[in-house]
Each structure stands twice: as C-alpha cells, then as structure tokens.
C-alpha cells in the first residue's frame, strides 16, 4: 500500500502510546511471576519454565513479525493491525483473575506473542520518514520514554503488593491499552514514505558491521538482566541489606540505563564508532562481575550502575543501527525484538540447566559469565570489521 505522506509521525501520539504500553509491560512482568508463585504455588523450576517458554515464543513471533503484519495488511492498515493487537491484549488481561492455571499460561503466552507484534509496528511508525540525526533523535526520546515507563511499572508493583492488590496488576492492562488506543487514533493509517536516496546518504557501509556487533551484544544485555532477577535476593541476604534499601538499590541499573540513553540522545560522539560498543560490552560484563562478587553495598551499586550504562548503550545502538540499515521496515524491528526474546529465553534456559547441579547458583553464574565472554569476543571481531571498513 502507498504511504500517505512524507511527514514523520508526531512525537506525542507515539510517545503517549509507548509510555502506556511500557507501563503495562513493567507491571505485567513483575506481577506475573509473583501471582504464579503466590496463587498457583509455582516452584522456581515452574517459573523458569514459564519464562523460557515466553522468551522462545516472543522470539519466534518477533522474527516473523514482518510476514504476519504483511498478511494482516492485505486486509487492514498497519494502524488497524496495531489497534487489533492492543485490543486483544486488553481483553486477555482480566483472565488472570479466574483461578485456573491453564488460563494463566494462556494469558501469559498470548500477551507475550502479541507484544512481539506490537513493538515492531510501533518502531516502523517511529523511524519511517526519519533519517540520520532525525532518526537518532527520535530513537533517543522513544527509548527514554519506554525505559522510564517500565521502571515506573516495576515501582508500582511494590505498593500493590503491600496493599494485597497484586492480583489486580495484570488486569490493569485493560485500562493502559485502551488509553494507548486513544493515542493510536492520531496515527496515520500508514507510516510515511521512507526515501531511498536519503536512506542511502545516511547509512555508511560501516553501519552493517556495527549492527552485527550490536546484535551480538543486544541479547547478552537481556541475558544479564534475566540472570540477575533470581540472584539479587541472595546477594542482599549475603550483604545483610535492610529490606527498605533493597528496592532502591535494585533499581540502580534502571536509573543508569535511562541516563545512558539520555546522554546518547543528546550527543553525537558515539554513533559510527566501534569503540562505543566495545566500551558498552565491557561495562556490561564488568558490571555483572562486580555485582555478583560485591563484598559490600557500595560495590554492588557500582556494579549495577555499570551494567545499566552498558545495557542502555547497547540497546540504543542496536535499535538505531537496526532501523537505519533496515530502512525502518517492520522486519528490522522484528529482528531487534527477537534478540530481546533470545536474551530472555537463554537466561531461564541456563537457569533450568543449572538446577540439576549440586550448587546451582555458582553453576548458573558460570554459565552466564561464559555466554557473556563468548558474546563479547564475537562483538569485538565485528567492531574490528567496522574499523577496518572505515579506514580502508
């Protein structure tokens, strides 16, 4: 279908929709495993299996997002397709109130699959018609929006738990998604035209190698995030951290990640440079190492901060290079989201493997560290290719 205009979609509709959907995502992924454990008696193995299945499904759907949306577009516009996704997600959210484990699984995996379609369409609208500095700027405020909203969603879960209202957290997505649909009405039916000449002028050959490096590190970032969730409570116990301080300390990486994307959004030094990704990979790896070996809370905070800075830089780079090289197509966003899913299922997968070991936590940490080391070496090689291309 032909695009309606050459004018990029305005920031307010995309920002508003992104904020509400991300707020819901933060609530969903914090509440889901709490509800599964408290109300359905899920063991650690059960929760890891649910997380693993969700990650695999998210990856499978996201990598095929272009084909799925293309099939839908033969019948409806991209705006209508996104509206259908949000509406179905909203209708599924209240199912968790019904005390049935099969419905919990169904709601979880179905909402996950729909999320894997949702974000590539949003990113398609975000990047289409934008090139070079304008695209980097749009990716910047969009990243800041969703990261702030996700952190708020996680923070909301604490008060809901203390008031005994956690089982109502996921049904609240009914309201957030309906609010997002209100913003969607300001979207055009089709994303604007993405000019081929402007695309070629703003995508140098080095971007492909840099994208390769970013796409290796990208799932590593999510692997680390997923790995820390089951480990942090034990780290707090070992350091005798006061319960009131655990949530603020645990949120350190969220704050650091948000600061990283704000800095990259407002600066120009980082793009087109392999050294940026190498530094981000080092921060991610060293941050994880310092976090899991922290002898005191100061080192733990420093480790979490380094991890957040590295993950934020990797995420920004991965989505910018992906959308730039991929011509803002849905397929580019789909691959980006598939790598998010890959990180999320590899983490629980390593957790499931380590459960059979005599000392499961050290084995799990060793597996994660090994995966990080391998990913970093491959990313170094890709970054080196970008450097050789830029000096050829």
Look at the alpha carbons of 39, 45, 50, 54 in this order and tell me if their dihedral is positive or negative.
positive
Domains of the chain from N-terminus onward:
7-203 (1.20.1250.20), 204-326+356-392 (1.20.1250)
Highest mean pLDDT among 281-295, 355-369, 375-389: 281-295
- Local confidence band at 258 (pLDDT 50, 70, 90 cut-offs): very high
Query: Which two three-digit tokens encode residue 182?
Result: 């209100």
> Which pLDDT score, from 0 to 100, does residue 20 have?
96
Cα 317 to chain centroid distance, Å, stands at: 13
> Which pLDDT score, from 0 to 100, does residue 386 have?
61
Highest mean pLDDT among 35-44, 300-309, 327-336: 300-309
Q: Hunting for tokens 């936590």 — which residue is that?
A: 361
| pLDDT of 4 strictly over 60 | no
Look at the alpha carbons of 244, 245, 246, 252 in this order and tell me if their dihedral is positive or negative.
positive
Residue 218 or 30, more confident:
218
- Local confidence band at 260 (pLDDT 50, 70, 90 cut-offs): very high
User: Which of 188-197, 251-260, 330-339 shows the lowest per-residue confidence on average (mean pLDDT)?
Assistant: 188-197
Taking the C-alpha atoms of 319, 324, 330 and 335 in order, what is their torsion angle to the nearest 10 degrees? -50
For 312-324, give the secondary structure using H, E and C: HHHHHHHHHHHHH
**pLDDT (tens digit per residue) in 179-207:** 999 999 999 998 888 877 787 888 888 89
> Which pLDDT score, from 0 to 100, does residue 1 have?
42
| pLDDT of 124 strictly over 60 | yes
> Which pLDDT score, from 0 to 100, does residue 121 have?
94
């Amino acid at each position: 279908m032909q695009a309606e205009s050459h004018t990029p979609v305005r920031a307010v509709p995309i920002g508003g929709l992104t904020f509400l959907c991300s707020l819901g995502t933060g609530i969903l992924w914090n509440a889901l495993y709490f509800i599964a454990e408290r109300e359905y008696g899920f063991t650690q193995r059960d929760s890891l299996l649910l997380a693993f299945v969700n990650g695999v499904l998210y990856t499978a759907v996201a990598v095929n997002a272009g084909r799925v949306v293309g099939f839908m577009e033969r019948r409806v516009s991209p705006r209508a397709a996104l509206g259908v996704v949000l509406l179905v997600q909203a209708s599924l959210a209240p199912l968790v109130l019904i005390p049935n484990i099969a419905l919990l699984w169904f709601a979880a995996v179905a909402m996950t699959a729909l999320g894997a379609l949702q974000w590539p369409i949003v990113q398609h609208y975000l990047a289409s018609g934008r090139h070079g500095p304008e695209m980097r700027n749009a990716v910047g405020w969009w990243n800041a929006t969703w990261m702030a909203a996700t952190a708020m969603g996680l923070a909301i879960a604490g008060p809901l738990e203390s008031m005994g209202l956690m089982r109502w957290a996921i049904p609240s997505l009914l309201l957030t998604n309906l609010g997002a649909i209100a913003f969607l009405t300001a979207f055009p039916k089709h994303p604007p035209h993405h000019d081929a000449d402007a695309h070629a002028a703003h995508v140098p050959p080095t971007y492909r190698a840099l994208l390769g490096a970013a796409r290796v590190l990208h799932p590593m970032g999510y692997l680390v995030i997923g790995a820390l969730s089951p480990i942090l409570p034990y780290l707090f116990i070992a350091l005798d951290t006061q319960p009131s301080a655990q949530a603020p300390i645990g949120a350190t990486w969220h704050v650091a990640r948000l600061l990283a994307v704000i800095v990259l959004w407002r600066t120009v030094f980082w793009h087109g440079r392999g050294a940026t990704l190498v530094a981000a990979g080092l921060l991610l790896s060293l941050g994880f190492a310092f976090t899991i070996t922290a002898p005191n809370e100061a080192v733990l905070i420093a480790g979490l901060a380094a991890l957040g800075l590295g993950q934020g830089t990797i995420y920004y780079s991965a989505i910018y290079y992906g959308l730039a090289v991929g011509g803002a197509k849905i397929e580019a966003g789909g691959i980006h989201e598939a790598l998010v899913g890959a990180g999320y299922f590899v983490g629980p997968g390593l957790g499931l493997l380590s459960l059979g070991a005599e000392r499961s936590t050290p084995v799990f940490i060793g597996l994660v560290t090994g995966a990080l080391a391998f990913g970093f070496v491959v990313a170094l090689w890709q970054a080196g290719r970008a450097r050789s291309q830029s000096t050829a």
